Amino acid sequence: MYKSKPILILKTFTNKELKRLGEYVGSPFFNKNQKVIDLFLLLKKYHPDYEGLGLQRERIFKKLFGRIKYDEQKLRYLMSDLTKLIEGFLVHEHYTQNQQSYAVSLLDIYAERKLEKYFQTTLQNHENHLAKDPIKNIEYFLHSYQIEEIKFSFNSSLSNRTNGDDIKEIMGNLDVFYIANKLKYSSELYNAQNVLSLNFEKPLLLDEIRQKIELLQLNEDEKPVILVYHQILLTLLERDNEQHYDQLIVLLEKYAAYFKHSELQGMYVFAYNYCTGQYRTLSRDRKYLHKIFELFEILLENNILLYDDLISEWDFKNIVSVGLGLGKNDFVEQFIQDYKKYLKPSVRENAYTYNLANLRFHQKDYDSAIRLLHQIEYTDSYYHIDTKILLMRCYYELEEVIPLFNLIDTVRAYIRRNKQISKGHKNNYLNFFKFVKKLVRIKMGSKKTIEDLKEEIAQTPNFDGFSWFFEKIKELEQKQRRF
């Protein structure tokens, strides 16, 4: 029962949504089966966790049917009926809250019933609403196309002649919707190709569309959605041209008001991916680390990283890591304290403690860093590994060789048997541990040299080492030269 479909859906409901669902289930217009209402009321008592012995199927059945012999099929039918009602409620809520979909359907209904007066009133009201809405994204042009198409069809049904302007409106909205969507998903395709090292066929008509973009006579509402997605695509197709990235940032700041918050987040992800890709490709060129930091400053200043007043623990971690990499310890200290409250409660203490430990490490307060790291609960395999790697770095700096080697052996065994970690990540971690051990031995007077280690690293395919590790190699090289 705990993992049944209705319970898994109900777990996502807020208290307000659950109350409205109760009204929906209890309405005779939607449901006339009292047993379904009784089942809902029983399940509702266990919101939001839906845990407890009372949720066992036999107990639920007994509460619903008394002394009647347990009938699995009978309970399944009730669960199915309740599931359909829950799904119907979700569709109803989504539909009534989406003014655009509601208007399209209402216009369709009035057109079908030839209620011209109400059709024109609804159309006028909705066109006024669209004119005032600052959002002019892909969805807007799809919706505008749908509205114009319904209007044209309705006028045709009334034998009203056209002067061609309405057809131009239909074609114009359709063109912007199609071109912007083509650019958007072409960008997604090339991004996936870069990340996954896969080869895809070039999207149909993409070259032709790109050649025509500069010739398009776009009005001020049409420019943002096409220009931004085209610029994103350029950063993917011509990565060596840094001006494409700079222009993308200019366009995103200029046209931010034209897009929904979630869309802006996705657009800035492309910008972030460009910088991180260039940083790795160009031997960790710090210029791109500065660009990443500047990008985070824009995102923080405009609250773009916050979604439902929450910041992702990974965005939180990345901001801290980049800030520390640039030596901006004061900024990082302030950020950690100011944005802790925006972390999801379930991950807040872990994320806060780990990132504070990372800050203390960069402040060379290794003992404080170690104390903080021992407070972290391992709820995620990557948190587990990142915590252990930071602990290794502390031991290295403190020259605690035995604890360091013991920790490496323990984490290496954990990674090898962990099935959630991809093969690529496993190999990278295992190579890192191997090279750290070799670096320590060289530091202690091993016959192998730094040059031997660097040559072995160069011959290791796809090794994405950590900045700290390469800094330690450089430090040891400089120390050996002095002697």
Contact 404, 395 (CB under 8 A): yes
Q: Could you count the other beta carbons within 10 Å of the beta carbon of residue 110?
A: 20
What is the CA 246 to chain-centroid distance, rounded?
23
Where residue 88 falls (left for φ over 0; alpha for ψ -120 to 50; beta otherwise) is alpha
Q: What contacts 162, CB < 8 A, 6 or more positions away? A: 152, 155, 156
The tens digit of pLDDT for each residue in 10-63 reads 999 999 999 999 999 999 999 999 999 999 999 999 999 999 888 999 999 999
Tell me which of 369 and 447 has the higher pLDDT.
369
The tens digit of pLDDT for each residue in 277-331 reads 898 776 667 899 999 999 999 999 999 999 989 999 999 999 999 999 999 999 9
| Burial of 65 (C-beta count, 10 Å sphere; 0-12/13-18/19+) | middle
Residue 174 has pLDDT above 80, yes or no: yes
Residue 2 has pLDDT above 70, yes or no: no
DSSP string, 97-146: H-HHHHHHHHHHHHHHTT-HHHHHHHHHHHHHHHHH----SHHHHHHHHH
Alpha carbons 252 and 305: distance in angstroms, whole number: 14
Joined tokens for residue 70: 């347990």
- What does the pLDDT read at residue 462? 74
Task: Specify the residue for token string 């590790």.
Answer: 469
